Chains A and B, each alone.
Chain A
Amino acid sequence: MKELFPLKQVNGFVFSLLLTIIALSVYFLDMSFELGMTILLVTAFIQATVQLVVFMHAGESEDKRSIYTSTLYGIIIALFTVFGSLLAMVWGYL
């Protein structure tokens, strides 16, 4: 029975729906810009992780380690780029 029922995937699906609802609430509820952006950012990153791990099976093959390493490398470079750009274009003038 356990093999037949993809519990992990169903849970993941419910969880990702939940995340979507939380993100949507930013639009429907009245809240400050900062709070809204924080909620969106946090749910977006969790959502991406859920998709990657549960539905794209990132952790299930032999090259698990290299998949996570390159994902991490990508995230690091993306963060550097985003925050560096903010520094160069916005914050750097304060």
Chain B
Amino acid sequence: MEFFDRFAVPHPSPLIYASMVAIGLTVIAIFLGITYFKKWGYLWREWLTTVDHKRIGIMYIISALLMLFRGGADAVMMRLQTSVPDNAFLDAQHYNEVFTTHGVVMIFFMAMAFVIGLMNFVVPLQIGARDVAFPRLNAISFWLYFAGAMLFNISFVVGGSPDAGWTNYYPLASTDFSTSVGINYYNWALQISGIGTLMTGINFIVTILKMRAPGMKLMKMPMFTWSSLITNIIIVFAFPVLTIALLMGTFDRQFGTNFFTSVNGGMDMMWANLFWVWGHPEVYILILPAFGIYSEIISTFSSRNLYGYKSMVGSMAIISLLSFLVWVHHFFTMGHGALTNSIFSITTMAIAVPTGIKIFNWLLTMWKGKIRFTVPMLYSVAFIPLFTIGGVTGVMLAMASADYQYHNTMFLVAHFHNVIIPGVVFAMLAGLTYWWPKMFGFMLNEKIGKWAFWNLAIGFCLAFFPMYITGLDGQARRMYTYSEATGFGPLNMLSFAGAAIMAIGFALIVYNVYYSFRHAPRNVGDDPWDARTLEWATHNPVPHYNFAVTPQVNSSQALWDSKKHGYQLFKHDLTEIHMPNNSGAPIILAGLFFIFGFSFVFFIWPGVIVSGIAILACLAYRSFEKDDGYHIPVKEIKETEEKFGGAKK
């Protein structure tokens, strides 16, 4: 019995017991459902073992949406708890756990996965490639991310959730103050999915540098591909810092070392330092792909080429370097002197300059353009003013002396949601709507999509703008309740109303998927948005080899040139296509990593050793495996192309 005691939740409540039952029932229902419809074989062959970048992208996006709802449920609970003074819906401990899991789930498992999912789906198509450079590695990245996400998500029903914030500062996160296994979960879940992300970074850099269609010089790449390249460079330089910091935290908590302790020569704020050395580049990892998506969408729906292509690329390159030079702005109040704070104040404000350049480029792209207000365009147009407000409040926070007033108040919370929601989340939803026909061969309903957009946009303003005011009035972040005398009540109620409206918006998006799946016409053609870049030069949905014939590229909007200026994209005849084989190894490897992480969280050494050896065995097996892929004969390509309505020539 004693062995099982460790899995008990330290602070149980009816809500948690209810979730346990709900999770159990859902898992059983899914298993029974798949078995009943005899879908195991299909699932295994077509999805779980796939190395196709498009399917991996779709799996990333599905996981991201699931995590969006998990994190969204946390958000609504927090807003409900703070909607009236002295509320007792959640106690302090539960509130701590909820804001921690909200932050971690949203950043690591929602936003990152969404970004990487869209990158997976779109980038190889935009550069005219058949897949990424290392398809098997790509599958491993996804499954490691998935294993990490699942490990993190079981924490609240098995052993207890982390409760030290998504920033996980020591000494609060040390064993002295966080006694449950929650923080171990944090360390291992992020470690495992972080390794996956790092491999994605390498994979995409190689893909973009080496696998572009003939003629596509670097300066002829579409803007989303450019933003992905820069993002992945930041990933490769930033993520190792997180890996090491997490490992040091693990050693402190599980082997009694003193990296982040306040005694024995440890430095507790060193965690904060390392966390933000990774953390600030991370916010740019999220926003740059979003910028890329907006660039594609704004230029498509303004029917104009992107204004200032070179300055767009240049400002992203500058951002990628500057993003590594500003991290101290997250702890201006730690107590260092004016010189240190001034240096990082200035670097931080400097970042606003290239960001501002991009804003003007988007505005000038729309200038005198023939704008079509489709759903993706609505998100993009709303992004510009809303994100600008977030950027301006960021510059306010960047003034070190003023930050003593704002730091860790709701003002800060309002700032980063103001950049992340209209910046990243809107971009993901816009991108998903935009590329949806590429993925599934039908369009999402515009009318429901617009309703969802307005709910999200208005809900966002109502939910977060009041926080600027309460923050300036002194409402601290992460405070689970407040007294009536503070006067924070009415504005917090408004925030809750905004959150509820946003929840309706997300529900409408789900309904839209269902509705469009049932009712939308399937004959949308290959280029339903009248777009400009290469991914629209093949069929909807995309055949698994992407392009029957490798395209020849002449500019950053090759498809537009072929439509309007008679440029010939496909110059060659059909030839055999070389494709990678599917493999079960990635999902097995990730399963082993899950067991490894889980055992480590609970100090179950036999489990750690056995799964550790099995992981090494998998790697060894892979080293000796011979797998040269397979070839699709010309006849089969012809048949597939016929099925899609005639060869593209």
Question: Which A residues are closer than 8 A to B by beta carbons?
Answer: 66, 73-74, 77, 80-81, 84-85, 87-89, 91-94
Contact = CB atoms under 8 A, between A and B. Distances in A.
B340 A81 contact: no
Given A84-B328, A92-B337, 16 more contacts: A77-B237, A80-B324, A80-B325, A81-B277, A84-B277, A84-B327, A87-B336, A87-B343, A88-B331, A89-B267, A89-B270, A92-B339, A92-B340, A93-B335, A93-B337, A94-B337
A23 to B, nearest CB: 23
Bin chain B's interface residue count. Answer: 20 to 34
Nearest to B327: A84
Interface of B: 209, 237, 241, 267, 269-270, 273-274, 277, 321, 324-325, 327-328, 331, 334-337, 339-340, 343
Contact of A74 (B237, B325, B328): B237
A82 B483 CA distance: 44
Nearest to A66: B209
A89 B273 contact: yes
24 contacts: A73-B237, A74-B237, A77-B237, A77-B324, A80-B324, A81-B241, A84-B277, A84-B325, A84-B328, A85-B270, A85-B274, A87-B328, A87-B336, A87-B340, A87-B343, A88-B273, A88-B334, A88-B336, A89-B267, A89-B269, A89-B270, A92-B339, A93-B336, A94-B337
A44 B335 CA distance: 34
Contacts of B274: 85
A66 B324 CA distance: 20
A24 to B, nearest CB: 26
A84 B273 CA distance: 10
A80 B324 CA distance: 8
Chain B interface main SS type: helix
A85 B324 contact: no
B340 A88 contact: yes
A63 to B, nearest CB: 9
A51 B327 CA distance: 32
Nearest to B237: A77
A84 B323 CA distance: 13
A88 B328 CA distance: 7
A92 B324 contact: no
B347 to A, nearest CB: 9
Contacts of B334: 88
Contacts of A74: 237
Identify which of B274, B324, B334 gathers the most chain A CB atoms within 10 Å of its CB.
B324
A80 B241 CA distance: 13
Contacts of B331: 88
Contacts of B321: 77
Nearest to B335: A93
Nearest to A76: B321
Nearest to B267: A89
Contacts of B343: 87
Contacts of B324: 77, 80-81
Contacts of A77: 237, 321, 324
A68 to B, nearest CB: 15
B335 to A, nearest CB: 7
A80 B328 CA distance: 12
Contacts of B267: 89
Contacts of A93: 335-337
Contacts of A89: 267, 269-270, 273
Contact of B336 (A66, A80, A81, A92): A92
Closest 4 CB pairs of A and B: A92-B336, A92-B340, A88-B328, A77-B324
A58 to B, nearest CB: 17
Contacts of B336: 87-88, 92-93
Contacts of B209: 66
A93 B335 CA distance: 7
Nearest to A78: B237
A84 B336 CA distance: 12
Contacts of B328: 84, 87-88
Contacts of B340: 87-88, 91-92
A73 B236 CA distance: 12
B588 to A, nearest CB: 32
A77 B278 CA distance: 12
Contacts of A84: 277, 325, 327-328
Contacts of A66: 209
Contacts of B327: 84
Nearest to A94: B337
Contacts of B270: 85, 89
A94 to B, nearest CB: 7
B42 to A, nearest CB: 42
A87 B337 CA distance: 10
A56 to B, nearest CB: 17
Identify which of A66, A77, A91, A94 gathers the most chain B CB atoms within 10 Å of its CB.
A77
A84 B277 CA distance: 9
Contacts of B277: 81, 84-85
A86 to B, nearest CB: 10
A80 B321 CA distance: 10
B335 A85 contact: no
Nearest to A93: B336
A59 to B, nearest CB: 19
Contact of B273 (A80, A85, A91): A85
A77 B277 CA distance: 11
B358 to A, nearest CB: 22
A93 B337 CA distance: 6
A6 to B, nearest CB: 27
A83 to B, nearest CB: 11
Nearest to B341: A92
Nearest to B270: A89
A24 B337 CA distance: 38
Contacts of A80: 324-325
A84 B324 CA distance: 10
A85 B101 CA distance: 28
B285 to A, nearest CB: 14
A94 B338 CA distance: 10
B32 to A, nearest CB: 51
A73 B238 CA distance: 13
A44 B334 CA distance: 33
A92 B335 CA distance: 9
A84 to B, nearest CB: 7
Contacts of B269: 89
A66 B340 CA distance: 33
A25 to B, nearest CB: 27
A92 B498 CA distance: 42
Nearest to B276: A88
A79 to B, nearest CB: 11
